[in-house]
Chain A
Amino acid sequence: MGQCGAMTEVTETQLPGVGVRHEFTTAGGDRTSVLSHRTGRRELAIYSRSDPDACSTVLHLAAEDARTLSELLGGNPVGEAASAVQRLEGVAIDWIRIRPGNDRAGTTIGDGRFRTRTGASVVALVRGDQTVPAPGPEVALAAEDIVVAVGTPDGLRQLRRLLEA
């Protein structure tokens, strides 16, 4: 999966029958993870410094608590969409960069007929610091844009081929 903007490196682990866990190390050196249960419940865990495999603190969050916390922390809609999408089987999300000199730069999303051809939908464009959520067919792609798309893994592969051609 691609990365957008400056972000700490996050590792993803599947927990069969439970959900998915994302881990990262904070700038201060604390290992932290967010466990997303299939039910929408979250657990925020901080790992023990003496035993890095075990959690020293676990905070249990109901779905609405998690939303409140992410708002307080300044969560972004794209990231939230991404984690929501990951809970759906067979649906994937991808970030695709439009390289400078690409023929696609300057053409609109409608021109590309991406959804008709690949089944994948462009759900957002990340342009520098700005995010264009749910861009319409009239929105033109520009070099260095990051296209955020949702679809089947197959559809996303086709879309990547079209956009990187």
Chain B
Amino acid sequence: MIPLVAAASGEAALAFVEIGAVALLLSVLARVAGRLGITAIPLYLLAGLAVGEGGVAPLDVSADFIGLAGEIGVLLLLLTLGLEYSADELRHGLRSGAVPGVVDAAVNFTPAFLVGLVLGWEPAAAVLLGGVCWVSSSGVVSKVLTDLDRLGNRETPGVLNLLVIEDLAMAIYLPVVGALVVGRGAGDTAVTVAIALAAVSLILVIALRWGDHLSRLLSPATDEALLLAVFGLTLLVGGLAQKVQVSAAIGAFLVGLALSGSVQARAAAVVGPLRDLFAATFFLFFSFSVDPADLVQVLVPAAGLTLVGVLGKLVSGWVAARSVGAGRPGRLRAGSVLIARGEFSIVIAALGAASADGAELGALAAAYVLMTAVVGPLAAKNADRLAARLVRTG
């Protein structure tokens, strides 16, 4: 036993050094992002490129660990997203945001899907690309709204309702594309999609109907017990969902939805730091597999998609803000704040990593998120100035 332990501990020591160095690097990047007023996600992706295959300092022994930690990061990202909204808010958002939601999907998903087909990808990969370009980053949007003091603005409920709709749409989209990616023949695919949708509806009904019981069961727990219970439940449900071909991420999302009331707030508080840690690992690991050479190749299509994505979000923001009665400056602000894409786009692209067009899709998604996450907050800031001019000129 002793030599084995010694060998393992030698390897462990190297892994500690690698992971520690990477974590410190990410910490510096998070601070830089905070200074610049953008999300840290694009910087994490760049760091992943640097330490991944073909990068400047590839990691040796800790890649497997970081891979698994990254998978857990996806689950925690989706869990906290589910925790964000109560069942009431979802119902309300669905009622008031349905029309902007449909417009949003039409103007953002469709062009990217078509670009995927033009690039000669398989339909499933094109559907994934559509998703990558569709969903705004709720993390960036709420950060920008807070930083720019726009939570009080008239257009803001429209923006937030649109985010709710997008998140709900993801609850259906993710399991469907998850099934599309593994499906072989048309018949097979139809069956897997049907199973996936049935499983999601089942979990959703359980979450909305019996979520109260779960919350009551968990509410007397200490913070420590609550953290372990929520973490365990998320991985368990995620794993079971994955078994029946529904993406694990959706299982985690629905666990978040099921928790309500004071347990919801407490769970969000205790899971938050854990989520930050694992999610950073996920973004890092995602860009491990992206070849820097591929990234250079997709720069032109990514820039084109970014332009289309900016216009698309300006349209959906315009419609969403108009639906809550905001004037033209408000509609412009709403559109600009929605431009940034982030966590969901990467989660979606990761689903297709194993497919034939996975490498290109991954590179394109990384470039796209990089561009929109930088352009978005800048546009949001300047929309204020542009809006001010609109007001003055009438």
Contact = CB atoms under 8 A, between A and B. Distances in A.
Contacts of A88: 261-262
Contact of A54 (B142, B264, B265, B330): B330
A51 B391 contact: yes
Contacts, number: 85
Interface string A28-51: 000001010011000101010011
A47 B153 CA distance: 8
B388 interface: yes
A45 B163 contact: no
Given A16-B92, A16-B163, A38-B265, A53 B154 contact: yes
Contacts of A21: 151-152, 157
Interface residues of A, number: 24
A50 B151 contact: no
A38 B86 CA distance: 12
B157 A54 contact: no
Query: Is chain A's interface secondary structure helix, strand, loop, or mixed overall?
Result: loop
Contact of A15 (B86, B151, B327, B388): B151
Contact of B156 (A15, A38, A50, A58): A15
A100 B261 CA distance: 39
B84 interface: yes
Interface of B: 84-86, 88-90, 92-93, 138, 142, 149-157, 160-161, 163-164, 212, 260-262, 264-265, 326-327, 329-330, 333, 384, 387-388, 391-392
Given A52-B327, A89-B260, A14 B151 contact: no
Given A51-B327, A54-B329, A89-B88, A13 B149 contact: no
Nearest to B265: A38
A43 B150 CA distance: 11
Interface of A: 13-18, 21, 33, 35, 38-39, 43, 45, 47, 50-55, 58, 88-90
B89 A55 contact: no
A35 B327 contact: no
Contact of A43 (B85, B142, B151, B164): B151
A53 B329 CA distance: 8
